[in-house]
Structure 1
Amino acid sequence: MKKLLVLSALVISCIACKKETKQTNPVTTETSTTSEKLATITKVAEFTGQQVTGVSVSQAGRVFVNFPRWRPTVKHSVTEVVNGESIPFPNESWNSWTPDTPLTNTTFVAVQSVVVSQNELFVVDTRNPFFKGVLSNPKLFVFNLENDSLTQTYTLPNDVFFKDSYINDVRIDRKNKVAYFTDSGHAGLLILNLENGTFKRVLTDHVSTTAETDHLTINGKQWVNTVHSDGIALNQIDDTLYFHALTGYTLYAVSTAVLINGTTEDIEAAVEVVDKTAAPDGMIFDQFGNLYYADLENNAILKRDLNGKTTTIAKGDMVRWADTFSIYNGDLYYTNSRINDITGPIPTMTFQVNKLAITE
């Protein structure tokens, strides 16, 4: 999540001018959602007055979360949940930044995502607190979870982001040694070569990365905001990257080989429409190729199988804007960020990390 800005009439009028994606045959013609017995949901952690968005669980079962700097009352950007307590990660110093202190390379400013891959924690720092514009070049910090030390910092160069960029989520492709990002503030994707640190930006203002609407309807009320390319998921079975605008109803995909090696024209031509879906936030694939994502407008979590059949696996009061997902030991972890519920200060509001069992 996410860039909470309503597009001006000028921008809306330009959407019709976006470059069109290749309209290939969808992977499936299944668009209906069926329901099976809903999973039992277990609360993992709860935070009062601190809005959690990201969660990622390591191979050792360590649970990491992040709190975006959308308001001045954020206590910590990144923490580890230990016995139900929220412990600053990697320490208090890294989480000490405030708007009246200098920007440094050893403090988090506005973290939007945390992702564990092979015992490393990748932390996406948008450097865009309060959605008031990027203060300095966004960064990807990498920590070794053996000793919680910083091992690498990737700094986005000026030519791959904009003043209104909000670098939202990341997926790590170990096979190809690259990372993929979404920009939900200024529509587009980014690719990072993890070996040499070079970035490239693709699909900027493309129809596949641009929001389709300026609102969602949740619990009978309109949540008015325009959020571009947000959810992102890597299917390692078919080496394909899937992505979705938050305020949109179309799932897109593109081959990782084309993303990495193709020209701008190659990439735009290779984008495929996968399916019409519910409006989601984060997304994740399991090892079997099933895709899990939220149905924000219906307080639900959906599973899309290899045949394109979509099933509701969780729904109700314990699913309140399922923002980010992580899979560990047969359980799907997710955050309740409750973005649509917030109308003012949040000192007494509670936000959760929950989990539910998933099976093939």
Structure 2
Amino acid sequence: MKPTLLKHGALAAVVASFFSFSATAHSSEEAQVELVGKIKGTQITGVTVSNKGRVFVSAPNWRDGVPFSVGLVSDNGDFTAYPNAETNACVAQSKVRKDCFLAVQSVVAHNEKLYVLDTRNPKFQGVIDAPRVFVVDLATNKVESALILSEEAYHPDSYINDLRLDEKMNRIYMTDSAHAGLVVYNLEDDSSYRVLDNHETTTAEVDALSIQGKPFKMTVQSDGLALDTLNDTLYFHALSGYSLYAINTADINKASNDVLAKKVRKVATTGAPDGMIYHQGNVYLADLEKQEVQYLTPSLDLRTLVKGEVVNWADTFSIYNGSLYYTNSKIQDAGSDVSNMTFEVYKTALPAR
């Protein structure tokens, strides 16, 4: 089914379909938010901020007419294709080229490099080329390499969704939101593989969500990912579910589900989130059904950081200079035509420690 033939709201369903302890909930005074940038007619999902404060976003290839895959947000809120228009040309034409972004879902800035996760699955028609991570040197603004997943790391219907860099283990961890599982890329030898493939800890727990009373009937598998580099812990969560899981990074090895599942622990019951991030003891995650940005403290208190009209499917988080940045991807409202919709990047101060 081509997105151009879908009625409003139907594409959102297609988009979503490919994509221990209970926490104690506490409410808090709503944080003040600041608009970083907004763009009309281009749905953005990912956001990341570099060490030097440069703000990057990603726009998925979910419909015709997407002007860029990766954008740089200027200080005055304008969006321009990054690193240049040529590297972003494939998204509009769905052309398969080795040097061109095709279907980017997320971006992560790390040590002055930008890691661009390309699903190679445009419009959810299936993987037409191996998913990969483009590495852009932020000093030269040039693509320096592409980390290509091996055939054992993805399925034909995979939609590789999020990633985290682990310097200690020299690996990249990724989620697959269409075909449940986690993906590991070993930077030492460029090998890659899957773990917890179709396992209950990476699989959606419910068939539908209720976004402020509006039904969202499709399911999304493993999606959110957060890495605690101090305690060497990887957190992961299905979007269509309420269980936050964790595993020690040293235990993430190429092994059967039965073996690896013994190393996984349930941390908390939370709302259904999209993106996640870890920072100074807290796991930040959204509650899509309540339309809030929340954080889970080390004592398993689930607190609200931001709520209200400034939260509309908080999709991806990044942290820079004491602030949490997030995108509003508005997936539950976006259909085949988003030309009249506006999508925002906001930032808000982190809670006092």
Q: TM-score range by the shorter chain?
A: over 0.9
Contact 2:195 2:257 in 1 (8 A): yes
Match of 1:50 in 2: 42
Q: Does 1:184 align with 2:177?
A: yes
In the alignment, what sits opposite 2:30?
Answer: 38
Corresponding residue number in structure 2 for 1:224: 217
TM-score by length of 1: 0.91
Relative to structure 1, is the Cα distance of residues 102 and 355 closer, same or farther in structure 2, using a 3 angstrom cutoff?
closer
What residue identity is the alignment partner of 2:165?
A: I
Partner of 1:275: 268
Q: Distance in 1 between matches of 2:59 and 2:286?
A: 19
What's the offset of the Cα at 1:105? 1.1
Where structure 1 has 5 or more consecutive residues not aligned to the other structure, the ranges are: 8-25
**Displaced runs of 4+ in structure 1, greater than 6 A?**
none
Matched residue of 1:123: which SS?
A: strand
CA RMSD, aligned part only?
A: 1.7
* Counterpart-to-counterpart distance in 2, 1:149 and 1:98: 18
- Following superposition, the deviation at residue 38 of structure 1 comes to 1.3
Q: Which residue of 1 aligns with 2:88?
A: 95
Structure 1 counterpart SS, 2:260: helix
Q: CA deviation at 1:31?
A: 2.5
Partner of 2:73: 81
Show the counterpart of 1:4. Answer: 15
Superposed, 1:257-268 pairs within 5 Å as 257-260=250-253, 264-268=257-261
1:140 aligns with 2:151: no
Cα distance, 1:302 vs structure 2: 0.6
Aligned residue for 1:324, secondary structure, equals: strand
Q: 2 CA distance for matches of 1:172 and 1:5? A: 25
8 Å CA contact 2:224, 2:275 repeated in 1 = yes
**Which residue identity lines up with residue 290 of structure 1 in the other structure?**
N
Quickly say closer, same or farther: Cα 1:214–1:264, change in 2 above 3 A. closer
Judged with a 3 Å threshold, the aligned counterparts in structure 2 of structure 1 residues 99 and 317 are, in CA distance, closer, same or farther, namely: closer
Is the contact made by 1:326 and 1:334 (CA closer than 8 Å) also made in structure 2?
A: yes
Give the equivalent residue in structure 2 for 1:250: 243
Does residue 332 of the first structure (1) align with residue 324 of the second (2)?
yes
Q: Quote the Cα distance in structure 2 between the aligned partners of 1:188 and 1:2.
A: 21
Change (3 A) 1:249 1:146: same
One-letter amino acid of the counterpart of residue 195, structure 1: E
Give the whole-Å Cα distance in 2 for the aligned partners of 1:262 and 1:162.
18
| Contact 1:239 1:256 (C-alpha < 8 Å) held by counterparts | yes
TM-score (norm 2): 0.92
1:264 is displaced (CA, Å) by: 4.9
Kept in 1, the 8 Å contact 2:49–2:109? The answer is yes
Asked if structure 1 preserves the Cα contact closer than 8 Å seen for 2:195 and 2:255, the reply is no
Match of 1:97, SS state, is helix
How far apart in 2 are the matches of 1:55 and 1:5? Answer: 19
Query: What is the number of equivalent residue pairs in this alignment?
Result: 339
- Give aligned-pair identity as a percent: 43
What is the CA–CA distance in structure 1 between the aligned matches of 2:138 and 2:22, rounded to whole Å? 41
Task: Report the 3-state secondary structure (helix = DSSP H, G, I; strand = E; otherwise coil) of the residue aligned with 1:273.
Answer: strand
CA distance in 2, matches of 1:345, 1:78: 20
Quote the residue 1:307 is aligned against.
299
CA contact (8 A) 1:3 1:226 kept: no
Residue 103 of structure 1: CA displacement? 1.1
Amino acid at match of 1:49: G
